[in-house]
Amino acid sequence: MILCHGEILPNSRQQEIIASLKDTAALPVVRNEPLTPETVIRACDALAQRILNGDFDTTVKPFLDLFHISGGQFEGMVRLFTRENLEYKCSIELCDDERVIGGKVRRKRYPLGVLLHIAAGNVDALPAYSVIEGLLSGNVNILKLPVGDSGLSVKLLYELIAIEPLLSDYVYVFDVPSTETETLKRLSDLCDGIVVWGGDAAVKAARRLANVNTKVISWGHKLSFAYAELDASDEELQRLAQSICGTNQLLCSSCQGIFVNTNSREEQTDFAKRFFEILKSVNQSAPPVDYGMKAKNAIHLYNERLEASSENNIYYHQGVSVVIREDKELELSYLYRNVWVKRLPADELYTLKKHKNHLQTACILTADSEKRKKIASVLARIGVVRITSAGNMSRTICGEAHDGTYALREYSRIVEFEVESSAQ
């Protein structure tokens, strides 16, 4: 299903509506009635309160069950869209909204214009979240739904428009497969910016779609890890294991593996054994992994165990594993509570810099606060953009950046007027 001018419509009307966008998509932005953050905040807050009051439980519960999200986690997510949190977000990200500089120039923020959001499907409500950020910055938003979308994003955006009908001209949702490149090119030609969520292939595809004068804002797949000293406590390791089991390593901020500050194979092995016992224990009390994913991983883990040797060991129990590896590369794990452990002495941390924009979150595990500060400083300099404690790798805080930058600023442009000018 698709969403156009506040109405949910059948896919059969998709091409007709896309054809009409050339004349209508940019009109809400260019007319002298800008969409203010306050309008969006008021609508989001009203919708958030209704969700918190249980008005959408029949829609929300299957979503929570599917992704094993607890009621407490979900409430925290919803509260990000309350007035208090959205006002705080805008105060940080839109702080240059309007001011006079040097007594001669008036600086004012404007939206980019029309944004095409190419959403990923690893978080079910992410497409709606991306559109709301586009609305907060005043843009018209065209959303391409990810494959297998459950319909939750369309439902949320439909309800948001029902609360504030003014938003109906600022939101379009289409169900266009990635294989329909001609349709996607038509949409991209209408836009001032393309917002793409996904891996390197998705980002490259978006850049191929974009005209040379179209901005591409990529929130690509990232890799996150833990860096551990040998003095890391069992309590820290338990919190890390809880984070791994809670996210199933599906988020960009999820821990894929652990680098240990050692050159010793024996110390690496001892650490891996210790963490495996903790991970195995935490797994027993965590919600079970989806059977299909568990079965798929079983093939990888079986091959890993067949190939295990003195240079490639694996500790495995009921779908949970810790693999000891000899290389020092940052890589994706097998996911779903399967972690690698590698040796990486502190004086070689700089070698991770080659991963550039793939770096996201790192947690530091050590009892020594001075070591923690030194390691954090190195990680920040090589490109890590979030440095946390073990249990907070995937925490969400209103006002935090996306991968080292602010989305609302990326979706905006700054126009400067001479004070004497009458230009508006």
68: left (phi over 0), alpha (psi -120 to 50) or beta: left
C-alpha–C-alpha distance, residues 318 and 340, integer Å: 16
pLDDT value for 310: 47
Query: For residue 379, with 0-12 CB atoms within 10 Å meaning exposed, 13-18 middle and 19 or more buried, which class applies?
Result: buried
Q: What is the pTM of this model?
A: 0.88
Chain Cα centroid distance, residue 11: 27
**Domain definitions of the chain by residue range:** 2-221+403-418, 223-392
The residues, any chain, with a CB within 8 Å of residue 352's CB and separated by 6 or more, are: 330, 344, 359, 382, 383
Q: Token digits for 264?
A: 């010793």
pLDDT number for residue 319: 86
Hey, what CATH topology would domain 223-392 get? Aldehyde Dehydrogenase; Chain A, domain 2 (3.40.309)
Query: Cβ neighbours of residue 152 under 8 Å, at least 6 residues apart?
Result: 59, 63, 124, 125, 128
Q: Identify residue 168 by its one-letter amino acid code.
A: S
- The answer to whether 135 and 43 have CB atoms below 8 angstroms apart is no
Per-residue pLDDT tens listing for the chain (424 residues): 899 999 999 989 999 999 999 888 989 988 878 899 999 999 999 999 999 999 988 878 777 776 666 777 788 888 889 999 999 999 999 876 667 777 888 888 999 999 999 988 656 678 899 999 999 999 999 999 987 677 788 999 999 999 999 999 999 999 998 889 999 999 999 999 999 998 889 999 999 999 999 999 999 889 999 999 999 999 999 999 999 999 899 889 999 999 999 999 999 999 999 999 999 999 999 988 876 666 666 666 666 666 655 456 899 988 899 999 999 999 999 999 999 999 999 999 999 999 988 999 999 999 999 999 999 999 999 999 999 999 999 988 888 888 999 999 999 999 989 886 454 4
The verdict on domain 2-221+403-418 having CATH code 1.20.1290.10 is no
What strands lie across the sheet with 255-260, from one edge to the other? 313-317, 320-325, 338-343, 255-260, 223-228, 359-365, 386-388
**The pLDDT of residue 142:** 97
CB atoms within 10 A of CB 394: 21
